[in-house]
Amino acid sequence: MPRWTNDTILGEILRRYETQQDLSYSGLAREDLPLLRAAVRYFGSYPLAVAAAGLDYDELRRYRSWTNERIIECLQELATQNADLSWRHVSLKLDPTLAAAAVKRHHFGSWRAALEAAGLDYDTIRRYHDWDEKEVVRRIQERHAKGEPLYAKALERQDTALITAARRRFPAWHKSLEAAGLDYTEIVLRNPSEKR
């Protein structure tokens, strides 16, 4: 696996361009997922990485290559990366091409329908961007008061919205628990299977 830097990412994008390989988001997700992930991580979004390489992202878009299956695969892959899948974030920053294809009438017709087809909870995703640190702390304290589990693996199964928002707002899950006035060590000891 290459050691990614801004220069190696841009070089690889240009190499693919010069050899006429697919540089659409879906094509890269299919053919070179590590490059796609590195581009998003280092540049903030794939379109920004393409622009940094001096290419016109609009020219590389391939709406016609999108299928319902490919849209679902991309959404599920992004969900496993804990990406913000709110409409605003995806359509403006993360992957405008994916967003535009998903809402076309001959695909899903709406962002909600696309997310639901991918097995994702639209109402939960829609709220991610509204959560600030206070809301994360409030939700953690609410779960604690109800006696609900607060170790990371349980949250990943039971309340992905909370743990995803917490990971965005705090450097680590245990920091969000500490902000809520809870003892992370005690929570882990109460749940010995928890490894985080």
User: Angle CA(82)–CA(54)–CA(16) in degrees, nearest 5?
Assistant: 70
The region of weakest confidence among 14-18, 85-89, 128-132, 133-137 is 128-132
Q: What DSSP character marks residue 2?
A: -
End-to-end CA distance of the chain: 26
Q: Are residues 76 and 93 in the same domain?
A: yes
Number of domains in the chain: 3
Is residue 155 included in any domain, yes or no? yes
Assess whether pLDDT exceeds 70 at residue 130.
no
Assess whether pLDDT exceeds 80 at residue 159.
no
Is residue 152 included in any domain, yes or no? yes
Is residue 35 included in any domain, yes or no? yes
Share of the chain above pLDDT 90, in %: 32
Supply the pTM of this predicted model: 0.40
Q: Are residues 51 and 67 in the same domain?
A: no
**φ, ψ for residue 159 (rounded to 5)?**
-150, 70
- Mean pLDDT score, 144-166: 83
Q: Are residues 16 and 32 in the same domain?
A: yes
Q: Note down the domain range covering 149.
A: 131-190
Assess whether pLDDT exceeds 50 at residue 154.
yes
Q: Give 136: exposed, middle or buried? Use CB within 10 Å, 0-12, 13-18, 19+.
A: buried
Is residue 196 included in any domain, yes or no? no
- Measured between alpha carbons, how far is 88 from 97 in angstroms, rounded to an integer? 13
Share of the chain above pLDDT 70, in %: 91
Write down the mean pLDDT value for the chain.
Answer: 84
pLDDT tens for 20-64 read 788 888 788 888 999 999 999 999 999 899 999 998 877 776 544
